[in-house]
Structure 1
Amino acid sequence: MRQTNRPTPPEFVPKLVTVLREGYGLAQLRADALAGLTVAIVALPLSMAIAIASGVGPERGLYTAIVGGFLVSMLGGSRFQIGGPAGAFIVLVAACVAATGVSGLLLATFLSGLMLIAVGALRLGSYIRFIPYPVTVGFTAGIAVIIFASQLRDLLGLSLTAEPGEIVEKIPALWAARGSISGAACAVAALTIVVILGVKRWRPHWPGMLLAVVVASGVVFALGLPVDTIGTRFGALPSHLPAPALPDLSVAAVMQALPWAASFALLGAIESLLSAVVADGMTGRRHRSNAELVAQGVANMGSALFGGFCVTGTIARTATNVRAGAVGPISGMLHALFVLGFMLLAAPLAAYIPLATLAGVLAIVAWNMAEKEEAWALIRASRADAMVVLVTFALVVFRDLTTGIVVGCALGGAVFIRRMSDAASLHQPEDPLEERPGLDAAASDLVVCHLRGPFFFGAAARLGFVLDQIADTPRGFAVDFTDVPFIDSSGARSFELLARKTARKGGRLFFTATNADVRAMLHSHGLRAPYVTYLPDLAAVRAVLAQAESPESSARH
């Protein structure tokens, strides 16, 4: 029998392979090394803080950043994704540890990796993008509130024999312990926050979180302040990676871990692909969602083998990677190696880090996660979007994350159905998105995209595919809204990303024939002049471009 070697489908080829094929030299390596070092400096205190908040030892956060971060970058479908422990998982991980112990957490992490690989292999990654934007804003804000609440104990130095996990029970317990507030702990936490905010304001390119940890630790050591540290609560950190070991795979253990694994996989898929989309918006690149999910799966399995927990793409560290000038995935791989080097060389020093300092770091993380502007824009945009945001937020905070996402998506679907029925008399959609650039063959510098039918969160996902077919943004990009009765917040968000990309490429974006409701939704997402020019029809667009080309206009400029 003759064997044939089938090539790997392009959607599963890691971006590392793509970058190396394009040509990778010393200059690119230097840029990636600098970016990797910058991200590692951010990841070092953050990984330990997230691990402690999740109810496990700080060393497990480092294991997760090292093993998971390396595998995500090496195998992933994004050039700039940074993997590691994420604040979004704190709630789930803490609950899993409370219910199953650390051994159950490792097994759930391992099984979630298998699930993510299956989701990616079945090419289901593209469906994650159909989660409505108000749902993502609602659950992100809810997670931020829970993270902040989980840090109040160490922020205030409260003495508690047992801290409840549910926020409804946590707040009364913390209030009951208010008499044990430590002035030293409050001062250390406040110092940490002030240093982080001060560095961000006056020296934004400096590693504010690491500097805050160093300064606060030095103050506590020099003054002998009576505050809990990593050493007093957890002992000395190990200075090496543990030997890999399989978790308990007995039937009883697997059945107990499966619900947690499914939650980890769902949240990991959402968080990692959102992070990849953020990187796309910052760089104009396009990630491979299915390759990214497979990489996330392998990373979670690898993390569990070495004693780590859930790995996902991290938005803040990925954005830091992009801003630091990363060229490709090697920066993420080097970030993991730098964290390993820090652990090997400086593990004894970590014992002096105050827990109040790490709580201050996570308080800043929670504040930045909350997406306050986005939530307020959605609440003002429409009652339906406000309902989805607020219900998702409330369920995440007072129930659990999975329920919040499921109910939020159901509400988003119900809102969509209602809007479809209201719009049925206006237009019977055939194809939500139709691209006909041939209409402007005589003007090669103008591309026209005609939209047909209501432009909702499902149709918004297809806009990316149309943009991928356009190699270089032309001088003019016109979107015709003649046949669009309404647009939802997810659709408006996609055009916000399009406006940024067009501006970076030096092009002009025109919206034509927008009705009052469509324009109001676009305005609520910041799509105004000078980023977008609103005109009545395509003839007006051509007239504006022709006027810009006229000799008189050239002379004035």
Structure 2
Amino acid sequence: MNDIFKPKFFTLLKEGITKEQVISDIFAGIIVGIVALPLAIAFAVASGVSPEKGIITAIVAGFIISLLGGSRVQIGGPTGAFIIILLGIVHQYGIEGLLISTMMAGVILVLFGLLRLGTLLKYFPHPLIVGFTSGIAVVIVSTQMKDAFGLNIEKLPSEFLQKWELYFTHLSDMNLYALAITLVTMMIIIYSKHITAKIPGSFIAIIFITATVNIFNIPVTTIETFFGTISNEITFSLPHFDLNNFTMYLAPALIIALLGGIESLLSAVVADGMIGSNHRSNTELIAQGIANIATPLFGGIPATGAIARTATNVQNGGRTPIAGMVHALTLLLIMLFFIDFAKLIPMSCLAGILLVVAYNMSEWRSFVSILKGSPFDSIVLLTTFLLTVLVDLTVAIQVGVVLSSLIFMKRMSDINTNIPIEDDSDTVENYSDLSEGISVYEIGGPLFFASARQYAQTIKTVGFSSKVLIIRMRHVPFIDTTALHNLKETIKALRDTGIIVIMSGTNNTVFKDLMQHHIIAMIGEENVFKKFSAAVKYVDQLILENKV
């Protein structure tokens, strides 16, 4: 158990945290708390629950995830990825059903961690992740049109196309004040970062817009007119659970657990790249699970690692879990003493914030890049995207994983006939004859989504102990988008520390893919060789010229 569950906070406490770092973490936590406030409110409202539930989630789950998690800097709380799932659960099962599904998802996440499945969740294909993330972004946009245009619609249908049909039939009821507020909110968020990077644009927008609306009595819907008074009390209560309904809640619980696990580990990986650390996947999953079991007991909704808030934490000097705990305490103080201000926030202002969130999470550049690449990856991307938007996220992930596996088998069966392999026959078996500081790592077989992360991690480990790393790819028949994505991040990390990366033995197909994804440009075309012997000769010349 000790090997599986080792919270970073207690490890760092044992090693010792400097006074300077504690002060830096406190300031970072306060800033992240301010950033999290409008997002927590917006995500709760968009998910079909009252605003305080979003704040409670950020407080309770945020504190637990930082205290018990496997990352130094992960910030937990409600996120945009959950919106479409939670909205569907609330419509179908009510608030009570959402709380029960969240607690069940927490149990599943704890089991994932105990069964050491933390590494497996990282193996989802990159096109699948981009597909459902972009799909979620589109669905978020579709849920916010009502408030963005100030349309007088009592209840929105859950189906994507029916929503838009309803919007078009109500366009004549548009509130131009609401539309103007939405656009101004978006402009403030986008352009305020050019004036100040310390104060988040969403916070500036909420303060400015709310004050303006109330001073000039602008006729738009606010949180108070929509939800009534917001409570600043955090109460403990057990949701009523009927065992006969267990199977009914299992499907939504499983999708909450899968999505929460994937997003939290993705966020942790991004954070690792920013601070040069390594998170503990299984510990992180267990902490996420405990947080999702505890949060509904106080009326909260599902929580996971939040990439944007985690990045904000790092950018403001946060380096230990203290920052995440301070972020939760900051939100608690705001809820206790300033909640009356929150009820005055216009719904169109929250819509503007969520539209910017949707744009940021859409990954449209990655979407376009994948479409320009392999047709196989494009099939997975578009299938997952369309199923997320038009059917259901659960179906999208299931079909995406199965489709990725089938396509991989198809590509493997085509290797002998369709992919000419350049055999690098000039083989040096005894790498000990190479000059000191030169390491060689040979990849055997296809580089695809299931093996990509393990290869990338091994290349990074070997590379960091070298001055020059030669990656031999003579036996790699093809490389998919997931592998290209991971390989690019790995090579960037190595080059950022001054390590020279050389490649040898790539076939024409692999070379073309590496070129298309700008990996050849990153390495330098002069550092790519058909023959391993030529690569070794080149490195020896660099050593003679004292360039290594």
TM-score (norm 2): 0.94
2:521 alignment partner, SS class: coil
CA distance in 1, matches of 2:448, 2:546: 42
Q: CA deviation at 1:547?
A: 4.1
Range that drifts further, 438-447 or 170-179: 438-447
Could you give the per-residue CA deviations for residues 143-200 of structure 1, whole angstroms, max 9, x where no partner exists? 0000011000000000012211111211111111111100110111111011011113
Match of 1:116 in 2: 109
Partner amino acid, structure 2, of 1:536: K
CA distance in 1, matches of 2:32, 2:465: 31
Identity value in percent = 38
2:411 pairs with 1:411: no
Partner amino acid, structure 2, of 1:92: I
2:284 alignment partner, SS class: helix
**8 Å contact 2:464–2:499 — kept in the other structure?**
no
Could you give the per-residue CA deviations for residues 219-240 of structure 1, whole angstroms, max 9, x where no partner exists? 2122211011112212232223
Q: Within 5 Å, which residues of 2 pair with 1:287-298? A: 287-298=279-290
Range that drifts further, 489-498 or 505-514: 505-514
CA distance in 2, matches of 1:531, 1:552: 19
2:4 pairs with 1:20: no
Q: 1:268 to 1:530 in 2, by over 3 A?
A: closer
Match of 1:535 in 2: 529
CA distance in 2, matches of 1:346, 1:445: 59
CA distance in 1, matches of 2:429, 2:147: 59
Q: 1:14 to 1:214 in 2, by over 3 A?
A: same
Partner amino acid, structure 2, of 1:49: A
CA distance in 1, matches of 2:242, 2:27: 44
Q: 1:506 to 1:295 in 2, by over 3 A?
A: same
Match of 2:425 in 1: none
2:475 pairs with 1:483: yes
Q: 1:201 to 1:424 in 2, by over 3 A?
A: farther
Partner amino acid, structure 1, of 2:453: A
**8 Å contact 2:491–2:501 — kept in the other structure?**
yes
Q: CA deviation at 1:448?
A: 1.4
Q: CA deviation at 1:376?
A: 0.9
**8 Å contact 2:464–2:494 — kept in the other structure?**
no
Q: Within 5 Å, which residues of 2 pair with 1:67-466? A: 67-242=60-235, 244-424=236-416, 439-440=431-432, 442-466=434-458
Q: 1:473 to 1:220 in 2, by over 3 A?
A: farther
CA distance in 2, matches of 1:201, 1:391: 38
Q: 1:219 to 1:298 in 2, by over 3 A?
A: same
1:158 alignment partner, SS class: coil
Partner amino acid, structure 2, of 1:87: G
Q: Within 5 Å, which residues of 2 pair with 1:55-66? A: 55-66=48-59
2:517 pairs with 1:525: yes
Match of 2:40 in 1: 47
Q: 1:17 to 1:440 in 2, by over 3 A?
A: farther
Q: CA deviation at 1:470?
A: 4.1
**8 Å contact 1:54–1:93 — kept in the other structure?**
yes
Q: CA deviation at 1:257?
A: 2.0
2:503 pairs with 1:511: yes
CA distance in 1, matches of 2:544, 2:333: 60
Q: CA deviation at 1:309?
A: 0.7
2:486 alignment partner, SS class: helix
Partner amino acid, structure 1, of 2:120: Y
Q: 1:338 to 1:128 in 2, by over 3 A?
A: same
Match of 1:3 in 2: none
Match of 1:433 in 2: none
**8 Å contact 1:437–1:447 — kept in the other structure?**
no
1:352 alignment partner, SS class: coil
Q: 1:50 to 1:553 in 2, by over 3 A?
A: closer
Which runs of no fewer than 5 residues in structure 1 stay unpaired?
Answer: 1-6, 430-435
Q: Give the counterpart of 1:34 among 6, 27, 30.
A: 27
2:168 alignment partner, SS class: helix
CA distance in 2, matches of 1:426, 1:159: 58
TM-score (norm 1): 0.92
Q: 1:438 to 1:201 in 2, by over 3 A?
A: farther
Q: CA deviation at 1:130?
A: 2.0
CA distance in 1, matches of 2:174, 2:8: 50
CA distance in 1, matches of 2:436, 2:329: 48
**8 Å contact 1:116–1:297 — kept in the other structure?**
yes
Partner amino acid, structure 2, of 1:78: S
Partner amino acid, structure 1, of 2:352: G
Could you give the per-residue CA deviations for residues 200-253 of structure 1, whole angstroms, max 9, x where no partner exists? 3443443111111111112212221101111221223222322x2221122134
Q: CA deviation at 1:552?
A: 7.8
CA distance in 2, matches of 1:163, 1:252: 30
Range that drifts further, 498-507 or 116-125: 498-507
Range that drifts further, 286-295 or 95-104: 286-295
**8 Å contact 1:473–1:505 — kept in the other structure?**
no
Match of 1:4 in 2: none
2:14 pairs with 1:8: no
**8 Å contact 2:264–2:305 — kept in the other structure?**
yes
1:447 alignment partner, SS class: strand
CA distance in 2, matches of 1:503, 1:282: 15
1:125 alignment partner, SS class: coil
Q: CA deviation at 1:437?
A: 11
Q: CA deviation at 1:467?
A: 4.5
Partner amino acid, structure 1, of 2:286: V
Match of 1:432 in 2: none
Q: 1:437 to 1:215 in 2, by over 3 A?
A: farther
Q: 1:282 to 1:128 in 2, by over 3 A?
A: same
RMSD of aligned Cα (Å): 2.2
2:471 alignment partner, SS class: strand
Range that drifts further, 149-158 or 262-271: 262-271
CA distance in 2, matches of 1:240, 1:490: 45
2:492 pairs with 1:500: yes
Which runs of no fewer than 5 residues in structure 2 stay unpaired?
Answer: 422-427
CA distance in 1, matches of 2:83, 2:472: 44
CA distance in 2, matches of 1:413, 1:420: 11
CA distance in 1, matches of 2:16, 2:496: 24
Q: CA deviation at 1:129?
A: 1.8
Q: CA deviation at 1:426?
A: 9.3
Q: CA deviation at 1:109?
A: 0.5
How many residues align? The count is 539
